[in-house]
Amino acid sequence: MESFVKFTNQSQGRDRIFRATQYACALARYLLRNESSRKALLSKLQRLESNMSSGRKLFRLGNTVNSIDAAKRSIQLSEPALCLCLSVAHASRSLYFICDNVLWAKSIGLIRNIDKEWWNLNATRLYFLSLVMNLIRDVYSISQIMMKMSRDRGYRQKAIQHLNESPDVACAVVPELDAFVYLLLESLKSDPSVALDTVKNLCDLFIPLDRLGIYQTNAGVTGLCGLVSSLLGILSVMKPSLKIKP
């Protein structure tokens, strides 16, 4: 089991590269959609986007086992909030990968008599739930960092100095708001992994929101958000210190 999980982890970097290419193609197609002279280029971009999507599905065939293993490890966490958020997130993600694998099998003809729309809808719902739980974990982690930092004597002196030197009229009217924003920014600066994971999950959230019709945008916004989150994912793979833990 451990060797299999290690193998699937090694494919995550390739998956993120394929994902970045896929959403870059989607964004480029949206930006060039009104260029009548670029029809050949648009057709090539569409084919490349489709090929990247198919390639990603191959890389994700073993991710169900990986997510189940991550959920088992999350249950053992001592903090109840982290235990709940991560366990639900990983369990939802494993079910999402099952749906994704079924859709892949349907696309290549291994399975025929299934309701593709039903499986696709439930895959999107499970992906959305996983992202929401991960974002709740991010908010919890940020709040813990903020509480710890607010008790630090050195930070309090720095915050008082900031408030006294701030020339903004709004800061003088609502000093509590300025103090909160300053504490939030300093907390995110102190732990880049949490900041990166939060931005990544927020970008990813627009994708299922659009597909489920909860907050509809357009292919350009979806492509941009997917590209940004993919690049942040590549960065976390290249620099493991920027990957949020646990």
What band does 128 get if pLDDT is binned at 50, 70 and 90?
very high
CA–CA gap between residue 42 and residue 235 (Å, rounded): 29
What band does 202 get if pLDDT is binned at 50, 70 and 90?
very high
What band does 163 get if pLDDT is binned at 50, 70 and 90?
low
Model pLDDT, residue 2 = 56
CA–CA gap between residue 90 and residue 129 (Å, rounded): 10
**Average pLDDT score, the chain:** 87
What band does 175 get if pLDDT is binned at 50, 70 and 90?
low
CA–CA gap between residue 188 and residue 192 (Å, rounded): 6
For the beta carbon of residue 82, count every other beta carbon within 10 angstroms.
Answer: 17
Q: Which residues contact 216 (CB under 8 A, 6 or more apart)?
A: 209, 210
The stretch 137-166 carries a mean pLDDT of 82
pLDDT at 35 over 60: yes
Buried b (16+ CB within 10 A) or exposed e, 2-24: eeebeebeebbeebbbbbbbbbb
pTM for this predicted structure: 0.88
The stretch 94-117 carries a mean pLDDT of 90
E strands in the chain: none
Cα 8–210–13 angle (5° rounding)?
A: 20
131-135, 170-174, 231-235, range with the lowest pLDDT: 170-174
CA–CA gap between residue 83 and residue 137 (Å, rounded): 9
CA–CA gap between residue 131 and residue 87 (Å, rounded): 12
Helices (H) and strands (E) in the chain, counts: 11, 0
Return the higher-pLDDT residue of 154 and 121: 121
CA–CA gap between residue 84 and residue 137 (Å, rounded): 9
